[in-house]
């Protein structure tokens, strides 16, 4: 998976098919590791916004990405030095919480259609969509 493909998807330059193609060799394997699976080919930092996560939710809900792919994307966004969000803002805190959930769905919220719809609604409203006792 190349950072540039992920950045281009988030910006709307490429569709989920291209992102999915880049993820194909690592998803559903036991080798999901940031250092081994993410190719750092960006020379600049990309700021992640809730709109980027909304785009990922929409791709999932349309069937363009599956739960394993969404999990991998979240894992890579957290592990890359070239993707960041403002952790001092309310939106940045929300992004961090959502990516944390997505990157470990077996521990947090399973990436089901129902839950991703809840994430989408929460991101749209600027709030975490689950009761805090689930964290």
Q: Give the tens place of pLDDT for each residue, 7-42.
A: 999 999 999 999 999 888 777 656 555 556 555 666
- Report pLDDT for 80: 86
83 and 2 Cβ atoms separated by less than 8 Å: no
pLDDT at 45: 87
Read off the tokens for 31.
């080798």
Per-residue pLDDT for 133 more than 70?
no
Q: How many domains does the chain have?
A: 1
What integer pLDDT is reported at residue 34 of this predicted model? 52
Mean pLDDT of 50-76: 96
What's the half-sphere exposure (Cβ side, CA atoms, 13 Å) at 88?
Answer: 0
Given this model, what pLDDT does residue 134 score? 53
Residue-number span of the structural domain to which 74 is assigned = 3-134
What confidence tens digit (pLDDT) does each residue in 96-110 have? 999 999 999 988 899
């Amino acid at each position: 998976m190349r950072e540039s493909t992920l950045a281009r998807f988030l910006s709307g330059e490429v569709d989920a098919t291209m992102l999915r193609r880049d993820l194909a060799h690592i998803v559903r394997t036991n080798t999901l590791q940031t250092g081994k699976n993410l190719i750092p080919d960006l020379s600049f930092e990309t700021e992640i916004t809730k709109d980027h996560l909304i785009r990922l939710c929409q791709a999932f809900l349309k069937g363009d990405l599956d739960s394993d792919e969404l999990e991998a994307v979240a894992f890579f966004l957290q592990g890359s030095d070239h993707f960041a969000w403002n952790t001092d803002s309310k939106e940045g805190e929300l992004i961090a919480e959502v990516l944390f959930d997505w990157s470990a769905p077996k521990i947090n919220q399973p990436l089901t259609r129902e839950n991703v719809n809840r994430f989408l609604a929460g991101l749209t409203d600027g709030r975490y969509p689950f009761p805090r006792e689930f964290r």
